[in-house]
Structures are given as structure tokens and as C-alpha cells.
Chain A
Amino acid sequence: MSVEEEQYGFLRANALTLAFGGLFVATLVGQAISGTADFNAQQVVNGLEPVSLLEYVTSSSFGVDVMENWQSEYLQFFLYIFATVWLVQRGSSESKELGQEGTETDEEQKIGRHADDDSPGWARTGGWRTAVFSRSLGMLMGALFLLTWAASSVAGWAAFNSEQLGERQDPVSWLGYLGEADFWNRSFQNWQSEMLAVGSMAVFSIYLRQRGSPESKLVGAGHHDTGQTG
């Protein structure tokens, strides 16, 4: 940590995550308000009583709409983290340099006896601890994907069944819901947008720049330069 960094207070030192945390809360409130209005418009069409904001945010209809988006984001990061270990894109700021495909050597990764003074303990110890720590980011993203997808299936199941009952149709079991088009339509419509977004980020960063952003190459970097962030 440099002298300059030590003078950073809590807010400045965590500005990126705090800003996005605040935006997350604000947009979630936006979803709750607009979702209530949308839900109530449908209730009126069906000749049912409108619900309050509190009733809506404690309903599985709201729950599944939140969770189906979360699962696709974690799937995106899980896939991207693993794919970028093995696959490169010439010229992309998101890619490693060509020839660096794979998990790299212990020396390059500062593992075991190659660890330096700042290295985390689990990078130095070897054995299962280093094996787990070496995959911890991808494992967390993968676990969060599976958990959020499972949560979206449970909430989607309850929301689907309340619609079924409203239409005087038989409710389905949870396993039955996993075979319903509703579940797969919700999943695929979120997944497709994540795959497009990830591919776009990788490919557009080849020829385009954003001065000062670590997501971009240096403005003056060559189009064929790969894996050099600004």
C-alpha cells in the first residue's frame, strides 16, 4: 500500500463497490414499484383485487423476477472466469496474451515456494488449501449460480402455481415445473443476453478504447495488443 493509498478513507477506498451497491438498491426499489404496477394491471384484467407494495415484494412473483436475473449474472461470471483461463481473443483487453492459455506455472502464479511476502497463506501452504484457493473465485460464482438458479426455480414454481389456480388449472410439482416451458423460457431469455454481453465486451475492446478504464487497453495500444489494460 503506497503512502497515497493510506490516506484514502473508507468511502474513497471502496467507491466502486459502494456505488454499485447503492445503484443495486435503487434499481431494486425501481423494480419493486414498477413490478407492483405491472402486477396490478394484470390483476384488474383478471378481475382480481390489486395488491400493496408490501404484498408484492413478499410474493414469489417478485422473487422469481429478481432471482432469474441474478442466476444469469452469476452464470455469466462463472463461465467467463473459466473460459478466459483456456480461451484467448487476439487484441482483446479481456483476454490473456496468446500462448498463455491454461492455468500457468506456479512461478507465474506465485504459488508455494514462489509466494512473496504479500501472498495469502493459502497460496503458500500447498496441498488442498492451495488447490481450493486457486479456484475459489470460480467456485463461488458457480455455487452462487446454482443457488440462485435453484431459488428462481422454487419461486417460479410458486408463482406458476398461483397463476394456474387463477386459471382453474391443476398445480404442478416442483419437478414438474422444471419441465415447464415457463422455467426454461425465463432461464434462456436471461442467459442469451449475458452471452451476447460477454462476447461484445471481449470483441469491442479490440478496436475501441476508453481512456482511463482498466476494462480498456491504453488508448495508444495497438489493435493486436492482447491482455494489456489501461
Chain B
Amino acid sequence: MSGVRIVFFAYLFVVLLGIVYVSALGLMGR
């Protein structure tokens, strides 16, 4: 995988991970 593609998917991964993480905190009522 080219370097540019790694950076592209790294950004997408971090944003989606953040969404899942924060949603989970809310759903668990923490």
C-alpha cells in the first residue's frame, strides 16, 4: 500500500474509531 493511501485510511480509521468510542461511552451511560 502506498504511503499516501496509508495516511488516507489512517485518518478515516481514527475518525470512525472516535465515533464508535464516544457512542459506546454514551450508550454505556458512563
Contact = CB atoms under 8 A, between A and B. Distances in A.
A64 B15 contact: no
Contact of A148 (B10, B14, B19, B29): B19
Interface in A64-80: 64, 66-67, 70
Interface residues on B, range: 10 to 19
A67 B7 contact: no
Which range holds the interface residue count of chain A?
A: 20 to 34
Contacts of A213: none
Given A21-B11, A60-B30, A161-B29, A67 B22 contact: yes
A60 B22 CA distance: 7
A14 B22 contact: no
Interface stretch (A31-39, A121-129, A150-158): A150-158
Interface in A51-69: 58-60, 62-64, 66-67
Interface of A: 10, 13-14, 17-18, 21, 58-60, 62-64, 66-67, 70, 144, 147-148, 150-159, 161-162
29 contacts: A13-B3, A14-B4, A17-B7, A18-B7, A21-B7, A60-B22, A60-B25, A62-B25, A63-B22, A63-B25, A63-B26, A64-B22, A64-B26, A67-B22, A144-B15, A148-B15, A151-B18, A151-B19, A151-B22, A151-B23, A154-B23, A154-B26, A156-B26, A158-B26, A158-B27, A158-B28, A158-B29, A159-B26, A161-B29
